[in-house]
Amino acid sequence: MIAQGASLSSKLDQISSHLKPLSYAVDANNNITIAGLKVKDLLTKYGSPLYILCEETIRTRARLYVNAFKEFYSGESLVIYASKALNCKAVCKIIDSEGLGIDVVSGGELFTALSVGFPKEKIIFHGNNKGKDELEMAIENQIGSIMLDNFYELELISELLREKFSVDTVVNLSIRVTPGIECHTHEYIKTGRIDSKFGFDLSQVDELISRILALKEKYKNINIKGLHAHIGSQIFETMPHNDVAGVLLNQYKSLKDKYGISLQDINVGGGLGIKYHEHDDPPEINDWVKVVADSIVANCKALNLDLPRVIVEPGRSIVGPAGITAYKVGNIKNIPNLRKFVAVDGGMADNVRHIMYQARYYAEVDGKIGDAKTEKVTIAGKFCESGDILIRDIDLPELNHDDVLVVYSTGAYNYSMASNYNRVRRPAMLLVNNGRADIIIRRETYEDVVQWDELPQSLS
């Protein structure tokens, strides 16, 4: 484990240019190593396909966010890890040990964080349709903030307070708004425009505040902590986040003037993109943080506001580049004058992002690093769907059966979206650091796949 006080080397000033984990290396025999461990050896020991997560990369990226706010923002700040990118016990513990908070979007993610003793005051609960049982869990555990997304959630909270909690129960609320800001990213991951399933339109905020204040007359410990907006994911621009701060702080000022409410937090969300392909050029973490910090400072000065606590919610940009997925090559199908398909032993059930978002990835062939890339191939999965493609038209050295293909930047939204489609077993995940590998998610067995099946008595 990296020491808590370890300094970051100057080479990390340009960390967004890194496509691969920080501990990536190639040995004298062209074998890919992560944290000093040969990927081929890990595949032999733990099976294929295999998720491999570099601890050094996660910790380093988390620290870059924290340190950047210390450098560029004189007020209080809190970096919150958006755990939907990858939520498991080990990652929650790493995030906690680096001093970050965590955001969750379901009862399962909340339960996972609580199960490892994550500080409750640093948990934010997001989601556009939280269930009553999920809200009950959040209130019972006195988490840092429930992110109000709609009027229905406020009704559910009111019911829960009436039915199950005392009048002294503390409920911390923040408000998610849609700022009407567009960004250049995939249609499915734009969340800041008005036509979004998430959050309140700005025209609804006054009504919401009135309802909360009415509820607060009976439940005195309902606290409105802050405002939040999130404009999307995998964003390569910085200026939209400059604009988000302006929208939120103008609303902040309005609530103070109209209702005398002094909010604590301004949460500008996350969404910073990462490098999935050699041609991607995302902003640096430092540059993104500086834009956010400068915008908040400038807007607060213009509006005569004290500096709020700034919250940001990076997810992908912390864990995405930390992960690789290793596969074994199986069937190779050459269609003359058209296409060469190379099938691997995984696919859309362990990485659905290509079929969902047309996401692009970069890959290398273990043991053939530096070899001439003589073929343009399409990497296909093993699942019974024509759209089950991992990488379309990539230049690689000649591939053979049982070659190991390593796909980069798979730490975010790969395991978290994985499925048992075709009743496959989901892969194992390893955490690697300083020559050590630990299983943090075990490979499923066939018994796992059928464990929730039930035969009715009429079929027994």
Give the catalytic positions in this structure: 384
Structure tokens at 65: 């966010």
426 closest CA partner among 449, 452, 450, 453: 449
End-to-end CA distance of the chain: 52
Q: What is the per-residue DSSP string for 69-115?
A: HHHH-SS-EEEEEEGGGS--HHHHHHHHHTT-EEEESSHHHHHHHHH
Dist. CA 394–CA 286, nearest whole Å: 32
CA nearest 312: which of 241, 260, 382?
241
129: helix, strand or coil? coil
H or E stretch including 312?
Answer: strand 309-312
Of 244, 224, 222, 223, the closest CA to residue 235 belongs to: 244
For tokens 């690093």, the residue is 369
Token pair 């080479």 is found at 11
Residue recorded with tokens 């043991």: 367
Q: Report helix, strand or coil for 259.
A: helix
DSSP string, 318-353: HHGGGEEEEEEEEEEEEETTTEEEEEES--TTT--H
140 phi/psi in degrees, rounded to 5: -55, -40
